[in-house]
């Protein structure tokens, strides 16, 4: 059977989204879709514009790490222009994680769990990562770039050696080729739905859904932050998307960091 490749027309055929995917900027290869999207956002690119590529040569991950982006994965960035103060958009990475998890579940029938803040895992292996950056105009967000990288049909041997034990791809966990065009349509659908819910004030219900899909909440964790580390039981997230921990010395909340589970699976 021939394996489908990602292409601009097929991935938007029959798309029913209201905002996201209204403009598609498609590339075979770029350094980083986030960089392209950021440059477009500094101009007058429309909200909902999606920049996507079949591979990236300089993909960027959280905390300044590189994000390996070989052919077979899906790499896209969405330009958003929420009319909100910067402080109000902090739950957005989690909202995006929820969308990615649902798109993965629809296409694999596997449980795609959310590891705080925004890794998506299947059977403990990272299959997707999310990087959200924003730029302000005064108090308000001028634009937000939502970058999403998914190991769709990625061959694990094409990833750097140090990632090969911790990363998975949807093809390898299911044993089936994932149609990248169908997957993209599903992903854009969930992003569109959840972003509009978020903008309409339904953040709390989205955070509840996030918690119900999370592999972090209820486990003992260590979170490495820029100020050291915090250990405790992850008991929830607050309305800003921060992780709430019960530590030996009381409750703590962490805005960002790297979370490691201390509970053996
Ligand atoms: C992470 O897991 O650390 C986040 C990874 C985010 C990767 C995506 S791929 C599309 C977009 N372009 C980038 O350079 N990064 C994001």
Q: What is the SS3 assignment for 80-146?
A: ECCCCEHHHHCCHHHHHHHHHHHHHHHHHCCCCEEECCCEEEECCEEEEEEEEEEEEECCEEEEEEE
Q: Residues 100, 31: contact at Cβ < 8 Å?
A: no
Residue 60 Cβ < 6 Å to ligand 1: yes
Q: Report the pLDDT value the prediction gives residue 264, as an integer from 0 to 100.
A: 63
- Amino acid 1: pLDDT: 61
Q: Are 209 and 98 in contact (CB under 8 A)?
A: yes
Q: Whose CA is nearest to atom 2 of ligand 1?
A: 129
Q: What is the pLDDT of residue 2?
A: 74
* pLDDT value, residue 265: 55
Q: Which of the listed residues 39, 66, 131 should we mutate to test ligand 1's pocket, taking the one with most ligand atoms within 8 A of CB?
A: 131
CA of 222 to the centre of ligand 1 (A): 23
Instruction: Out of 36, 55, 73, 75, give the residue to mutate to test ligand 1, the one with the largest number of ligand atoms within 8 Å of its CB.
Output: 75
The per-residue pLDDT for 228 is 92
Q: Digits of tens for pLDDT over the chain (265 positions)?
A: 678 999 999 999 999 999 999 999 999 999 999 999 999 999 999 999 999 999 999 999 998 999 999 999 999 999 999 999 999 999 999 999 999 999 999 999 999 999 999 899 999 999 999 999 999 988 899 999 999 999 999 999 999 999 999 999 999 999 999 999 999 999 999 999 999 999 999 999 999 999 999 999 999 999 999 889 999 999 999 999 999 999 999 999 999 999 998 976 5
Joined tokens for residue 152? 């769709």
pLDDT at residue 14 in the model? 92
pTM of full prediction above 0.85: yes
């Amino acid at each position: 059977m021939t394996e489908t490749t990602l292409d601009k027309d097929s991935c938007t055929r029959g798309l029913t989204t209201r905002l996201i995917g209204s403009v598609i900027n498609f590339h075979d290869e770029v350094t980083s879709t986030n960089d392209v999207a950021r440059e477009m956002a500094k101009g007058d690119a429309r909200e909902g514009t999606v920049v996507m590529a079949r591979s990236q040569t300089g993909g960027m991950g959280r905390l300044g790490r590189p994000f390996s982006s070989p052919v077979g994965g899906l790499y896209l960035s969405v330009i958003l222009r929420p009319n909100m103060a910067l402080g109000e958009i902090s739950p957005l990475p989690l909202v995006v994680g929820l969308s990615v998890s649902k798109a993965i579940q629809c296409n694999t029938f596997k449980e795609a769990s959310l590891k705080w803040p925004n890794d998506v895992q299947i059977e403990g292996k990272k299959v997707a990562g999310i990087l959200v950056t924003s730029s302000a105009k005064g108090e308000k967000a001028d634009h937000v770039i939502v970058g999403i990288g998914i190991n769709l049909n990625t061959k694990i041997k094409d990833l750097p050696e140090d990632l090969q034990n911790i990363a998975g791809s949807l093809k390898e966990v299911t044993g089936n080729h994932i149609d990248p065009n169908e997957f993209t349509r599903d992903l854009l659908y969930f992003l569109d739905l959840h972003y509009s819910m978020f903008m309409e004030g339904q953040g709390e219900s989205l955070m509840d859904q996030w918690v119900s899909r999370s592999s972090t909440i209820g486990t003992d964790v260590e979170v490495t932050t820029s100020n050291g580390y915090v250990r405790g039981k992850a008991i929830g997230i607050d309305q800003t998307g921060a992780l709430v921990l019960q530590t030996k010395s009381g409750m703590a909340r962490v805005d960002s960091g790297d979370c490691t589970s201390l509970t053996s699976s």
